[in-house]
Amino acid sequence: MKAIVFDVFGTIVDWRSSLIHQFNELEKELGIELPSDVLTDQWRHQYAPSMNRVRQGDIPWMGLDDLHRESLVKLLNQHGIALGEATIDRINHFWHQLEPWPDVQNGLQRLKEHYIIGTLTNGNLSLMVDVARHAKLPWDMVFCAELFQHYKPDAEVYLGACHLLRLPPEEVMLCAAHNYDLGAARALGMKTAFIPRRTEYGPQQSKDLEAEEAWDFVAADLAALSEQLID
Amino acid sequence: MKAIVFDVFGTIVDWRSSLIHQFNELEKELGIELPSDVLTDQWRHQYAPSMNRVRQGDIPWMGLDDLHRESLVKLLNQHGIALGEATIDRINHFWHQLEPWPDVQNGLQRLKEHYIIGTLTNGNLSLMVDVARHAKLPWDMVFCAELFQHYKPDAEVYLGACHLLRLPPEEVMLCAAHNYDLGAARALGMKTAFIPRRTEYGPQQSKDLEAEEAWDFVAADLAALSEQLID
């Protein structure tokens, strides 16, 4: 194994807490009230359906920033919340400023000493560069759906990264907190590592609490994964 | 200005000294004699012509690692040097282990505090990831010709990076030791910074000793550039 690529939203960064926190800060600043938790959860609920419109060919390629903004505008309308364009842009930018889980920075630094590390994310490139800068993530490479004009779990994303690394899939491992993502990677011959993030979707989370297949590695977090991988 | 992208071979890494050093080490190890300086210079001399075959459509897309290897095999034949495939692979890999100029690591770290920093290189992705890991270059993103299936100075490379960064060209600066590269960037609306590397091609270097146009910034090295850019 030469390289490890990581899912980002949920696996590396705690998007839900980060978004709610930023909604709360905006409320204070603008002196308005927003249903921050509900908006966050409903916004993320549009994530897969919005990408599926691209994946199924219903609409041409759109980056995640643009899909996020479309979903946000629709959501604000549904709630009868009227905000200016600049404020909507600012809220959309919340996704660029997500906090990492506590084990991430040290874990990635440790893994980087032995493996090439990169993202394998549905976020568009500029979004992912901003997240990495904000969260101080020491990626060797930012692989993202936008480079391949396909969203995960389309095979093009996984194989595209392996191809650019000039490595066969069996020498590349996907690390993710989501079983569906690992299933797609394994079907293409990649190694797999599962890390549960049991509060990614909040206190009521009901999925991805455990590994649903015998993935190559299952670890509590990136610190534990690096211990399993490195003597 | 939001982002600075850098030419790598010559601007960031001292490919010539690094190659000669590695040829010399190989000579000692294998107990053979090689015309290291001549091989290095003749090998690099094939760089532009080999890419031009792709740029002109004479051959389909090939990454730089593959072009390098073709040129190397031809060159060894011309010199009547017989080496095994594994040794040829190893020599081709010399390009993955290049040393940075002395100002590079601190200069990039300083610039990264204020700007997105990335490569804009004709090297293929895996080559560039290896160079960055070897030389400890803290890139936010590795942009390379391979992502756009075009070699510099084709416009697709420069504009492709700006597009992925979601920035207009005037908010992206190319930093390079080569006037032709900066000329291509400026023609597309990008900002430009020239840094001379007067020994890149060895003691007899005759080109790119000075800025040949009034580039937006001209600095002795990355330390000096960061001083000009950052108060």
The domain spans of chain A are 3-14+98-229, 15-96
pLDDT in tens, A4-42: 999 999 999 999 999 999 999 999 999 999 999 999 999
What is residue A97's predicted lDDT score, i.e. its pLDDT? 98
Rounded Cα–Cα distance for residues B118 and B100 (Å): 15
Across B90-99, average pLDDT: 98
Q: Do A165 and B126 touch (CB under 8 A)?
A: yes
For A115, name the nearest residue in chain B, comparing CA atoms only: B133
Q: Do A146 and B140 touch (CB under 8 A)?
A: no
Percentage of residues in chain B having pLDDT higher than 90: 99
Tokens of A156: 């093009």
Angle at which helices A179-187 and A155-165 pack, to 10 degrees? 60
Rounded Cα–Cα distance for residues A204 and A38 (Å): 13
B211 pLDDT band (50/70/90 cuts)?
very high
Across B95-108, average pLDDT: 98
CATH number of A15-96: 1.10.150.240
Mean confidence (pLDDT) of chain A: 97
For A145, name the nearest residue in chain B, comparing CA atoms only: B164
The DSSP 8-state label assigned to residue B8 in this structure reads -
What is residue B169's predicted lDDT score, i.e. its pLDDT? 98
Helix H, strand E, coil C: the string for chain A is CCEEEECCECCCECHHHHHHHHHHHHHHHHCCCCCHHHHHHHHHHCHHHHHHHHHCCCCCCCCHHHHHHHHHHHHHHHCCCCCCHHHHHHHHHHHHCCCECCCHHHHHHHHHCCCEEEEEECCCHHHHHHHHHHHCCCCCEEEEHHHHCCCCCCHHHHHHHHHHHCCCHHHEEEEECCHHHHHHHHHCCCEEEECCCCCCCCCCCCCCCCCCCCCCEECCCHHHHHHHHCC
What is residue B21's predicted lDDT score, i.e. its pLDDT? 98
Residue with the two structure tokens 């906090």: A99
A44 pLDDT band (50/70/90 cuts)?
very high
Across A195-221, average pLDDT: 97
Across A92-101, average pLDDT: 98
Q: Residue B153: is the preceding peptide bond cis (ω within 30°)?
A: yes
Q: Residue B231: pLDDT above 90? A: no
Mutation site, A65, A148, A166, A167, interface B, largest B CB count within 10 A: A166
From B103, B175, B183, B108, select the one nearest B139 (Cα to Cα). Answer: B108
Across A64-86, average pLDDT: 97
Q: At B90, which helix (H) or strand (E)?
A: helix B85-92
Superfamily for B3-14+98-229? Answer: HAD superfamily/HAD-like (3.40.50.1000)
Residues linked to residue B172 through DSSP beta bridges, in sequence order:
B3
Residues linked to residue B121 through DSSP beta bridges, in sequence order:
B144
Q: At B39, which helix (H) or strand (E)?
A: helix B36-45
Task: Say if residues B83 and B77 touch (Cβ distance below 8 Å).
Answer: no
Q: Do B147 and A147 touch (CB under 8 A)?
A: yes
Tokens of A89: 């842009």
Rounded Cα–Cα distance for residues B224 and B222 (Å): 5
Tokens of B208: 């790119």
Chain B positions touching A167 (Cβ under 8 A) are 126
Residues 6+ apart with CB under 8 A from A59: A53
What is residue A118's predicted lDDT score, i.e. its pLDDT? 98
A47 pLDDT band (50/70/90 cuts)?
very high
Chain B positions touching A147 (Cβ under 8 A) are 147, 164
Whether B7 has its CB under 8 Å from any CB of chain A: the answer is no
Chain B positions touching A138 (Cβ under 8 A) are 138
Q: Residue A231: pLDDT above 90? A: no
Whether B65 has its CB under 8 Å from any CB of chain A: the answer is yes
B43 pLDDT band (50/70/90 cuts)?
very high
A195 pLDDT band (50/70/90 cuts)?
very high
Mean confidence (pLDDT) of chain B: 97
What is residue A5's predicted lDDT score, i.e. its pLDDT? 99
A176 pLDDT band (50/70/90 cuts)?
very high
pLDDT in tens, A32-41: 999 999 999 9
The DSSP 8-state label assigned to residue B213 in this structure reads S
Q: Residue B55: pLDDT above 90? A: yes
Q: Which of B129, B164, B167 has its CB closest to that of A116?
A: B129
Q: How far is B80 from chain A (nearest CA, A)?
A: 30
Q: Do A129 and B141 touch (CB under 8 A)?
A: yes
Across B102-122, average pLDDT: 98
Chain B positions touching A124 (Cβ under 8 A) are 164, 166
Q: Residue B40: pLDDT above 80? A: yes
Q: Do A125 and B164 touch (CB under 8 A)?
A: yes
Whether B137 has its CB under 8 Å from any CB of chain A: the answer is no
Whether B146 has its CB under 8 Å from any CB of chain A: the answer is yes
Q: At B87, which helix (H) or strand (E)?
A: helix B85-92
Task: Say if residues B68 and B95 touch (Cβ distance below 8 Å).
Answer: yes
Mutation site, A142, A143, A144, A165, interface B, largest B CB count within 10 A: A142
